[in-house]
Structure 1
């Protein structure tokens, strides 16, 4: 079983920070829109992938196949649940921001 250490999390955060800083400091509005769209699309594809893996693992357990353990199926299920909850929270924040912008006086 692989354990995630705080050092691994910090290393990933540093890599993401460096990647964000390496982008141009003054992006064109079209490319910013494109990068947001690409990021959301990528995140939703990842959520879908996690849900498919969890579904396949659950089906394998139900059929009694020996290839997947109950522990791995539960981990896949929890990973899928956390990813979906995060996607819903991002959607809620985007909708809230949109509503705030639409309610601003001109």
Structure 2
């Protein structure tokens, strides 16, 4: 029974430490950049495009024999692929959200 009380006291102490570390600052919502969601999505699109070009250049260098870093080129290719897939998922979610808003009755 005594060990349960000790564990409870330790947890209570940790909670109080975390509350003190938080400084009781109010939680604010995330802020979008000045341009809004459009500029944010455009920046993400440009970033994914740059990754695609970088991966293509790395693969071309390996194909031409200018580089022996096949593993690095494959990693760049996979990073670009994952980034593109994530961007498509975000686009699909935004499109679905827009469709849901448009279908809302007034």
Report TM bin, short chain.
0.5 to 0.7
Larger Rg: 2
Q: 1:69 to 1:92 in 2, by over 3 A?
A: same
Looking at structure 1, the residues matched to 50 and 72 of structure 2 have their Cα atoms a distance apart, in angstroms, of 15
Superposition deviation, residue 35 in structure 1: 2.0
Structure with more relative contact order (C-alpha pairs < 8 Å, separation 6 or more): 1
Number of aligned residues: 78
CA RMSD of aligned residues (A): 2.1
- Could you tell me the TM-score, scaled by structure 1's length? 0.66
TM-score, length of structure 2 as denominator length: 0.66
**TM-aligned CA deviation for residue 41 of structure 1:** 1.2
Q: For residue 37 of structure 1, report the CA deviation from its aligned partner.
A: 1.5
Give ranges in structure 2 of 5+ residues lacking alignment: 1-27
Over 6 Å off, 4+ runs: none
